[in-house]
Structures are given as structure tokens and as C-alpha cells.
Structure 1
Amino acid sequence: MKNVIKKSILLVTVFTTMLSIANEIPNNIKKTYKETALTINNVSQGDLLTIKDYNGIVLYKELIKSNGTYKKGFDLTALPSGDYFFEVDKDMEIKTIPFTVNYQSVVFNKEKETSIYKPYLRQKGDLILISKLAPNLEPLKVSIYSELESGSELLYTQNIEGLQSIDIAYRLKKGSFKIVFNSNGKEFTKFINN
């Protein structure tokens, strides 16, 4: 019985010593982990999630593995203080979710979330049909190149402005073509064989 009491007193003493040592560790050495939960609805397998700084440098990249709702926790407080954004690159849309890191806090700016709609291209015989949503009347520049063995040759350029719903068609002869779209500060390229 005495051995049990001695062992119990020894264990209490060890735990008390460990707790007092842990309390003496300065705050700047202790690791604090603050996880921010990100939930994105209506994602598809193959969509690309990135975290970028405002210089466009990619800090994190992940291909989404399943359809539905994406949920993941991130320790964004590990980033240096500054402005950043999540970017979700889907088939027809690029969604940007901005946030600011200030020392140990993360603030999301819901008012500055944006969605950019990508141009959609369909081929129907020798017709190329292009559609794009532009809710804020964003201009769209379309450049059509002929793909040759010696390189690309610009055939046609068109700037489209002032429309919320862009629908255009081009008739192309037989051959290989590169179509470059510029809108919202981004460039999208499609290749077609006619």
C-alpha cells in the first residue's frame, strides 16, 4: 500500500513539474494553430484551387478530386501579413475569394469576391460558335490564328464591348487554328482542327 501511495505522489509531482515547465515557455515559442475552414459548393473533379498573393505568385495548388462540396482547413495565419486570394478555376468560371492576413488574424472580404466567366467554344461543321457571359459588360478580344508548320499566322481580330451575353460565330476553312480570347485581364487559348 505504501508503494502505491509513493508512486501516486511521484506521478503527481512529475505532472506538476511538467505543467510548471510548460507554463514557463515564452509565448513567442508556443505554436498556435488557427485553422480557417474553406467551403466551396458546386465543384467538379478536375477544378483547380490555388492560393495566390496579389503579385499572382502561386503559394498553394490543388486539383479537386470529387464533385459536390469542397471542404478543407488551412492555417492561413502562417502567411506573412498581406493580401491574398483563393482562386477556383472551373470549366466555365474563375471565382476569386480575397482575404487579408494581419499577424494572427485572417479576414475575408465578401464584397470583393468576383466571378469571371470564360468563353465557351463549340464547333459545328465549319462554324465556330463562341459564347461568353459578361455581367459587367467586360470586353472580349478574339484573335484567330492559322497554325502552320512555320508557326502561327494572325488571320482575324475582333473586340466585342458593351454586351452582357456575347454570342458570335465564325466560318473557318479546313485547317488547324488557334483561337485566343482576352478578357478580364486573363488569356484563354483553344485549338481546333477543322
Structure 2
Amino acid sequence: MKKIIVVALMFGTLIGYANEHTNDNELNAKKTVKVEFSNVKKGQTLAIKNGEGVTVYNNEIKNSGSYSKTFDFSALEDGIYTAELNKDFEIVMKQFYVKNGLVTFLNNKNEKIFKPVIRAEGNLLYVSKIAFNNKPLKVVIYYNSEPILSETIKGGEILKRVYKLSENEIGNYKVSISTDDRSYVKDFTI
């Protein structure tokens, strides 16, 4: 009888200890979350994406200044999600996970991805990107839907190139850039 009581007490203590540490994380979990960003501009977008990159929410910012919206994520499936504020030259991201209808943010700081800057002037194409993460930049240039150049730029925190296109080849061009598991496309005409 004494052995059974001792085992029961030890088991109860272990469960109490496990619940105590589980509840530390769950204390920060909430059903509703207020998402806030400062210095937003009209026309920027806020998207919520699941772990596979599928957009489950997308909204265009209507006013410049501060943005604040309360979300109820309790209906989302369990998993990791990302809130992304898509700005002119950067994407600001914050990751969170949903478990049993409760939301917990993974860290307190925002992650930033800098977008490439693509500019066409006459027959010159300028491509640049801040790459503090040292990720390569794959550039493909198309002329009338046919690829005419493909290059991967790497090495350094600032990636940049100037491409001189033929003045004799007048028509529709497209540049496709891939980096940070994202793609960017710009159409232009010479």
C-alpha cells in the first residue's frame, strides 16, 4: 500500500511539474491577437501565410501612419504562420504558431527581407538588392517571352548589376528575380 501511495505521489508530482512548465508558454498564448505596425503607407499590404506559404488573409492598408488590427485566429489549423507587411522595398515579418486555437508569437522581434530594386532607363536595366543574409540573387531577362540572359549574383551584402540591352532590339522585356524563396517580376519596354 505504501509503494502505491509513493508511486501515485511521484506520478502526481511529475504531472504537476510538466503542467507548470507547459503553462508558462501557454500563459502568453491568446485567442485574439493585436497586430500593430508603425510607419505604414496607403497601398501596402498585410498578409497572413501558413507554413506552406499559402495566404490565408490579405488586406491593403487604407491609411498612412500606424496600423492596428485585432485578429481572432482560433479557427486556424494548428501550425506555424507568418504575418507579412509588404512595403515598398522590404517585407517585415513576424512568426507565430497556433495550437488548439491559441496563438503564441515565436519571438519579439520582426524579421526583414529587403526586396530587389529593378529600374529600366532607356536600354539600361539596373538591378540591386541589400542582402545582409548573403543569399544569392537569380536574374533572368526575357525579350518577347524568350530568355536572353540568366545569371546568379552572389557575394556581398549589396548585390547590384547594370545590364546594357541592345538598342536595336525594340520590344517587350521582362526581368524575373528569385531570392529568399520569393520571386519578383517587372515588365518594361524599349
Question: How many matched pairs?
Answer: 158
Q: Tell me, yes or no, if structure 1 residue 37 matches structure 2 residue 30.
A: no
User: C-alpha separation between the residues in 2 aligned to 1:132 and 1:193?
Assistant: 22
The two structures have a TM-score, normalised by structure 2, of 0.77
Of residues 87, 91, 116, the one that matches 2:84 is: 87
Question: Aligned residue for 1:188?
Answer: 184
Of residues 118, 123, 136, the one that matches 1:139 is: 136
Is the 1:98–1:108 Cα contact (8 Å) retained in structure 2? Answer: yes
Of residues 68, 71, 75, the one that matches 1:74 is: 71
SS of structure 2 residue aligned to 1:55:
coil
Seq. identity, %:
35
User: C-alpha separation between the residues in 2 aligned to 1:39 and 1:136?
Assistant: 25
Stretch of structure 1 that moved more, 90-99 or 180-189: 90-99
Question: Aligned residue for 2:162?
Answer: 169
Shift of the alpha carbon at 1:39? 0.4
Instruction: Give the unaligned 5+ runs of structure 2.
Output: 1-29
Q: Which amino acid aligns with 1:146?
A: Y
User: C-alpha separation between the residues in 2 aligned to 1:119 and 1:165?
Assistant: 10
The two structures have a TM-score, normalised by structure 1, of 0.75
User: C-alpha separation between the residues in 2 aligned to 1:39 and 1:64?
Assistant: 12
User: C-alpha separation between the residues in 1 aligned to 2:101 and 2:177?
Assistant: 40
SS of structure 2 residue aligned to 1:189:
strand
* Root mean square deviation of aligned Cα: 1.8
Is the 1:120–1:132 Cα contact (8 Å) retained in structure 2? Answer: yes
Q: Tell me, yes or no, if structure 1 residue 158 matches structure 2 residue 151.
A: yes
Q: Which has the larger radius of gyration?
A: 1
Is the 1:117–1:134 Cα contact (8 Å) retained in structure 2? Answer: yes
Q: Tell me, yes or no, if structure 1 residue 121 matches structure 2 residue 114.
A: no
SS of structure 1 residue aligned to 2:74:
helix
| Aligned structure 1 segments of 4 or more residues deviating by more than 6 angstroms | none
Shift of the alpha carbon at 1:109? 1.5
User: C-alpha separation between the residues in 2 aligned to 1:116 and 1:41?
Assistant: 17
Instruction: Give the unaligned 5+ runs of structure 1.
Output: 1-32
Question: Aligned residue for 2:103?
Answer: 106
